[in-house]
Amino acid sequence: MALRILELFGYAPTDVSVEAKAARDGLVCPFLNSPCTKIFHDKIPSGVCTVRQIVNPEPVIICPNRLYDGDYKFLGDVATAAFGEGTRIIRGHEVARVRHDGRYVAVFGKKWGKELRLPQKRGGGGYYIDWVLALIGEDGALKEFVAVEVQAIDTIGKYRPERDAYMKGQEPGNSKAGLNWENVAKRILSQVIYKGHVLRSEPLCPKGLFFVVPTPVYTRIRQRIAGDLREYQPHHGSLTFVCYDLGQEAAEGQRRLLVRGPQFTTTVDQVSYALSMPTNLPPAGVYQKAIEAELRVR
């Protein structure tokens, strides 16, 4: 495993422009216009937005805040996919201030003015969703809503030395860190499936759950689960992947654009079943072979 850092505080790590230096010196996330929230164990901001594997030049976004580029453009994309053209995004606390015509979508989410208070589930924890988009009727009442989860991917190993070298203006080469693809199945998909089942019982959530991810994460999910997923229109119990990629490399002082990737709707059940199907298991005898191989080494 080996990684190359492609974006540091929003810019190419070798960018020496005034804009890039200001972001690095201020430890600022330019996509949120606020301090970087991706931190190391010692509370120092990481600033690493995007990497690529040495064996694959495809950029992989590792910070979900990178997906908020374009002033949270993804919110408008999801609103259009869920409620049709002509919707207008407003913050949740602005609902009482506008004259409703049936096309306003109130947004509740982190750093968007207000998060929803949701009950605790049995055994602890909560039903929290990253974002809720609520379509408001002409009478100012809730008409329907969709929920949105936003995920990047975690890394394994350390890229801190390479990050620190870039911060000092040095060329560090490649990191020995890797991408935690297995975490997609172990944690991310299990959470999405659980939340999808919760939303399925909501009568005013007829379009299900929208899952915003980098395209490489979506691709890996499709490879990880067994069998082909059938495509549907958004409906109760559906799961819609909304994918994004980085655009072409940018000039000095500019950031790479975030561009739309694939969109695919299936069902929570299909993902759940495919993830646990026996056809998704490794070949018989893999444990035996691994043990015997280890015994031969000794």
Answer whether residue 227 shows pLDDT above 80: no
The token duo for 48 is 């690493």
Report strand pairing: 142-150 vs 209-214: parallel
pTM for the model stands at: 0.90
CB 155 within 8 A of CB 180: yes
The token duo for 205 is 């959530």
Bridge partners (DSSP) listed for residue 52: 4
Q: In 219-243, which positions are buried (b, 16+ CB within 10 angstroms) versus exposed (e)?
A: ebbeeebeeebeebebeebbbbbbb
Most confident segment among 187-196, 197-206, 268-277: 197-206
The predicted structure's pLDDT at residue 38: 94
Bridge partners (DSSP) listed for residue 51: 5, 60
The predicted structure's pLDDT at residue 279: 60
Pick from 6-10, 260-264, 270-274, 276-280: least confident = 276-280
Phi and psi torsions of 2, nearest 5°: -160, 140
Answer whether residue 119 shows pLDDT above 80: no
* Mean pLDDT, the chain, whole residue set: 90
Average pLDDT over residues 96-116: 88
The token duo for 267 is 């069902």
User: Would you list the DSSP string of the chain?
Assistant: --EEEEEETTB-TT--SHHHHHHHHHTEETTTTEE---B-TTS-B--EEEEEETTEEEEEE--GGGGGHHHHHHHHHHHHHHH-TT-EEEEGGGGGGS---S-EEEEEETTTTB----PBPTTS-B---SEEEEEE-TTSSEEEEEEEEE----EES--HHHHHHHHTT-----BS-EE-THHIIIIIHHHHHHHHHHHHT-TT-TT-EEEEEEHHHHHHHHHHSSSPPPP--S-TTEEEEEEEEE-SPPPTT-PPPEEEEEEEEEEHHHHHHHHH-GGGSPPTTHHHHHHHHHHHH-
The predicted structure's pLDDT at residue 225: 80
Higher-confidence position of 40 and 298: 40
Whole-angstrom distance, CA of residue 148 vs CA of residue 192: 10
Looking up tokens 């689960």, which residue turns up? 225
Whole-angstrom distance, CA of residue 148 vs CA of residue 12: 29
Q: Checking phi first, is residue 118 left (phi over 0); if not, alpha (psi -120 to 50) or beta?
A: beta
Q: Where along the chain do its domains lie? A: 1-63+153-179, 64-151+181-298
Average pLDDT over residues 214-224: 91
Answer whether residue 226 shows pLDDT above 70: no
The predicted structure's pLDDT at residue 293: 87
The predicted structure's pLDDT at residue 1: 60
Bridge partners (DSSP) listed for residue 238: 267
Average pLDDT over residues 54-70: 93
Answer whether residue 43 shows pLDDT above 60: yes
The predicted structure's pLDDT at residue 123: 62
The predicted structure's pLDDT at residue 36: 97
Average pLDDT over residues 241-250: 96
The predicted structure's pLDDT at residue 124: 62
Report strand pairing: 3-8 vs 48-53: antiparallel
Of the pLDDT bands very low, low, confident and very high (cuts 50, 70, 90), residue 116 is confident
Shortest CA distance to 10 belongs to which of 46, 41, 52, 53? Answer: 46
The predicted structure's pLDDT at residue 273: 87
Average pLDDT over residues 230-243: 95
